[in-house]
Structure 1
């Protein structure tokens, strides 16, 4: 389902996040770059969605704008029914703290804190204790029960990313955004983290939106949305690595054909 300006959602089917007619332009005039060009897409609650596309397609820009890390030039971004463009800096900061979780390629753990302290960090910064039963269950989901007193330097890369995943979910956010979360991991550790994200979505009914360039990673999602040249061009339910790879190859062929056509038009010789 693609959101439009006329779309309304019953409360029980409200997407965890969505953008409507999203336009993002970096720079101005002849040097301006249109990173998003009228994208409307929703990210359903309780689902794992991957965003894919060729380099420069706008996938990271889409995630940053949907998460409130960047602002749109035109259009609107929503978390639940909250229009991010209507919030001042303070309220936007509070929304990101309370309703949005983040997992990045660089684990971004605090080296002086233990695993347990890193997991609880968002709650501590917010001045609350959170739900002890939720945190306890989350520790088991990510498999870190025997590492709680360790510090990041004592963990493998895969274990550090599992801490980052647990931290992202600790405050029960409406949606967790993951930007190339396996980019710094080997294939085995990356597979474990991706499986963890999928299990966390299923077991906790949370929502994950992940940017990736890897078809194998995308295959862990419930759905893949594809961008090209700043536009939404396709969606794929129940993806497999082979189907995603075939779709990405089609983009490359299409882009190459378009580039050749432009060259011939501009230079008939």
Structure 2
């Protein structure tokens, strides 16, 4: 495992185009909220690359900008300045209509709250992005994803008839069914028990290793981050550390070095239980 401290944020003009192995990137990314004395600079000139076929975790204290980074990368929030490119498309220059089309076809989303439609069955929830986009369902791909998340016998059940872990697995399958360029996951294990969380994380890592999927996951959990190929750490809207081949212990070490003692100790205590 390797940790890197990132000490500078470069202007976009000073950076060469990323290699072909990079599927999404940001250059000079700034995101502010409010104006004048109430302005909050959530992202402060971030340069970052996300590699194809990797699981990247984004971590940092509350208010560090991790969710803002993911939302800007995914086109869920507008960029104040800088460049965001996903799958060769400049997200920051897209109209809302273009962004909607992008989110339906090239991006997958997994949220802590599941966001399933209660009146639809599990199968209908999974195929919803394709149905909205009026694209045919690849039944072989659908079957492979359903088998991977272990939902073969629950496809005709509605969300109210499923456990929390099963609902999140439906949300995962929905995120993958359209073969997106990148899947963005925002605290995907936050509402799950430890067993369901482990099942979900193994599935996400498997989708990367076996299907070549790219996943970017925001998490506060060192155990979840240990499933990633790489962990990025944010503080005050800047990238401050990078960890490759992480373990739970190495993630906790970085969290402590950043002064996130409360969260680190909480994770350490949880690991001992």
- TM-score, normalised on structure 1? 0.90
1:117 aligned onto 2:130: no
- Farther off after superposition, 154-163 or 80-89: 80-89
Give, in angstroms, the shift of residue 253 of structure 1: 6.6
Alignment of 1:150-165 (within 5 A): 150-165=157-172
For the residues of structure 2 that align with 1:186 and 1:89, how far apart are their CA atoms? 36
For the residues of structure 2 that align with 1:108 and 1:120, how far apart are their CA atoms? 14
Aligned-partner SS, 2:42: strand
Unpaired stretches in structure 2, ≥5 consecutive residues: 262-273
Offset from partner CA, 1:24-55 (integer Å, 9 cap, x none): 11111111001000111011111000000111
Offset from partner CA, 1:110-160 (integer Å, 9 cap, x none): 111111111111111111113221111111111111111111111111111
For the residues of structure 2 that align with 1:197 and 1:135, how far apart are their CA atoms? 16
Would the alpha carbon gap of residues 124 and 30 (structure 1) be closer, same or farther in structure 2, given more than 3 Å must change? same
- TM-score, normalised on structure 2? 0.89
Alignment of 1:1-269 (within 5 A): 4-5=12-13, 6-10=15-19, 12-13=20-21, 15-252=22-259
For the residues of structure 1 that align with 2:117 and 2:146, how far apart are their CA atoms? 18
Unpaired stretches in structure 1, ≥5 consecutive residues: 255-269
Offset from partner CA, 1:87-131 (integer Å, 9 cap, x none): 111111101111000000001111111111111111111111132
Aligned-partner SS, 2:109: strand
* Cα root mean square deviation, aligned: 1.6
Which has the larger Rg? 1
Give, in angstroms, the shift of residue 9 of structure 1: 3.4
Count, aligned residues: 252
